């Protein structure tokens, strides 16, 4: 294959090996080598692998390869998160992303995607240099996004081969479950959403570990998840009804997020239960409504704006050869919804007849 003229700035050197050396060894142009090593689009997988093999054979250190300046970032949100119920969580994250991009001189655009959308066409329309994906995305959708060849970082999600940043889902769930145990609760339920979500699975693991460490035998009936196809309100309503109708209902509920906890708490109160006397509630995320509920909701506080800003920082450092999974701490915020049981009071059955 004939060599193409070398572009200015393409003669990048690491040690004694240059991109020109790799191009000569692989029999391709310097520009083709640069695109392959930077994982940019426009090449067949066979050509990309041929060039990477040549780079490895010659000892080229790709971790030091100079990258193009990121000037445009697309913030991607799955359509299932683009709802009023999800806004209290993702809106502050987006604000943190926006502030970080402003400091870095990066233009930011927003894009809501689903598996059936013309993704390549949407990306061409926005023309981003890099992608920031927040929340759940199907593995198939992530694979399509990766084919764009653009740097990608995940926020509040984790997938093999992607750099990511998450709050401490498991540690926070452990802490809030321990809090319920120490407040005198014995039958603690976990009210989860869709198990496909990384955060929901991790929070369930923290809940189980806290029960195990406290010597509490877990009752599998106390661990509930939404049925496929249900929205947040319907899923929370159905789950709390199931729990309250058990022969031995729970005396506390840990909901995977605050919105779910608030819906379930209201449903329990509608059935005549007193919170926290009959049934304690805790959530996760510390959305604004958590402190304003009656009673105020115990939860785990996430610095959501910092989470977004950290996503931008990691995106600017994305290197396919050095995948990073970063975890941010969370803070237990105790409020009246999980107040300790009075020493002289024995827990009730947690179930009262419907009005």
Could you tell me the CATH superfamily of domain 169-302+333-338?
Response regulator (3.40.50.2300)
Please, what is the angle between helix 198-213 and helix 169-182, to 10°? 40
Within the chain, strands assigned E span: 13-14, 17-18, 72-78, 107-113, 130-134, 152-155, 163-167, 188-191, 223-224, 252-255, 280-282, 299-301, 325-328, 331-333
Is the model's pLDDT at 283 over the cut of 90? yes
Please tell me the predicted confidence (pLDDT) of residue 347: 47
Fold match flag (1-52 vs 169-302+333-338): no
Q: How confident is the model at residue 153 (pLDDT cuts 50, 70, 90)?
A: very high
Say whether pTM exceeds 0.85: no
87-110 confidence digits (pLDDT tens) = 889 999 999 999 999 999 999 999
**Domain ranges, ordered by start, for the chain:** 1-52, 72-166+305-328, 169-302+333-338
Please tell me the predicted confidence (pLDDT) of residue 9: 38
Please tell me the predicted confidence (pLDDT) of residue 350: 42
Please, what is the angle between helix 258-270 and helix 87-104, to 10°? 160
Q: How confident is the model at residue 194 (pLDDT cuts 50, 70, 90)?
A: confident
Please tell me the predicted confidence (pLDDT) of residue 238: 94
CATH number, domain 1-52, options 3.40.50.300, 1.10.10.10, 3.40.1160.10, 1.10.260.40 = 1.10.260.40
CATH number, domain 72-166+305-328, options 3.60.20.30, 3.40.50.1820, 3.40.50.2300, 3.40.50.1370 = 3.40.50.2300
Name the DSSP letter for residue 134: E
The more confident residue out of 318 and 346 is 318
Tell me what the mean pLDDT of segment 55-70 comes to: 72
Q: How confident is the model at residue 316 (pLDDT cuts 50, 70, 90)?
A: very high
Is the model's pLDDT at 63 over the cut of 70? no
Is the model's pLDDT at 66 over the cut of 60? no
């Amino acid at each position: 294959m004939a060599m193409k003229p070398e572009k200015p700035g393409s003669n990048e050197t690491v040690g004694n090996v240059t991109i020109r050396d790799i191009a000569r060894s692989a029999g391709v142009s310097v520009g083709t080598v640069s695109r392959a090593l930077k994982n940019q689009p426009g090449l067949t997988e066979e050509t990309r692998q041929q060039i990477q093999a040549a780079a490895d054979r010659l000892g080229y250190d790709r971790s030091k390869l100079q990258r193009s300046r990121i000037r445009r970032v697309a913030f991607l949100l799955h359509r299932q998160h683009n709802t009023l119920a999800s806004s209290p969580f993702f809106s502050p994250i987006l604000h943190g992303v926006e502030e970080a991009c402003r400091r870095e001189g990066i233009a930011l655009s927003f894009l809501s995607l689903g598996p059936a959308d013309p993704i390549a066409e949407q990306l061409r329309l926005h023309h981003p240099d890099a992608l920031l994906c927040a929340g759940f995305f199907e593995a198939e959708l992530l694979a399509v996004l990766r084919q764009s060849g653009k740097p990608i970082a995940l926020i509040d999600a984790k997938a093999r081969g992607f750099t990511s940043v998450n709050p401490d889902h498991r540690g926070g769930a452990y802490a809030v479950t321990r809090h319920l145990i120490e407040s005198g609760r014995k039958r603690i339920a976990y009210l989860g959403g869709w198990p496909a979500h990384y955060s929901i699975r991790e929070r369930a693991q923290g809940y189980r570990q806290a029960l195990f460490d406290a010597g509490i035998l877990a009752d599998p009936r106390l661990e509930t998840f939404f049925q496929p196809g249900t929205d947040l309100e319907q899923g929370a309503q159905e789950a709390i009804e199931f729990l309250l109708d058990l022969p031995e209902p729970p005396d506390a509920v840990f909901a995977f997020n605050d919105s779910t906890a608030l819906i379930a708490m209201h449903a329990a109160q509608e059935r005549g239960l007193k919170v926290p006397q009959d049934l304690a509630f805790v959530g996760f995320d510390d959305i604004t409504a958590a402190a304003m509920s009656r009673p105020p909701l115990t939860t785990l506080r996430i610095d959501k704006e910092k989470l977004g800003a950290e996503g931008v920082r990691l995106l600017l450092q994305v290197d396919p050869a050095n995948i990073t999974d970063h975890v941010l701490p969370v803070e237990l915020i105790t409020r009246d919804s999980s107040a300790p049981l009075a020493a002289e009071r024995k827990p009730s059955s947690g179930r009262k007849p419907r009005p």
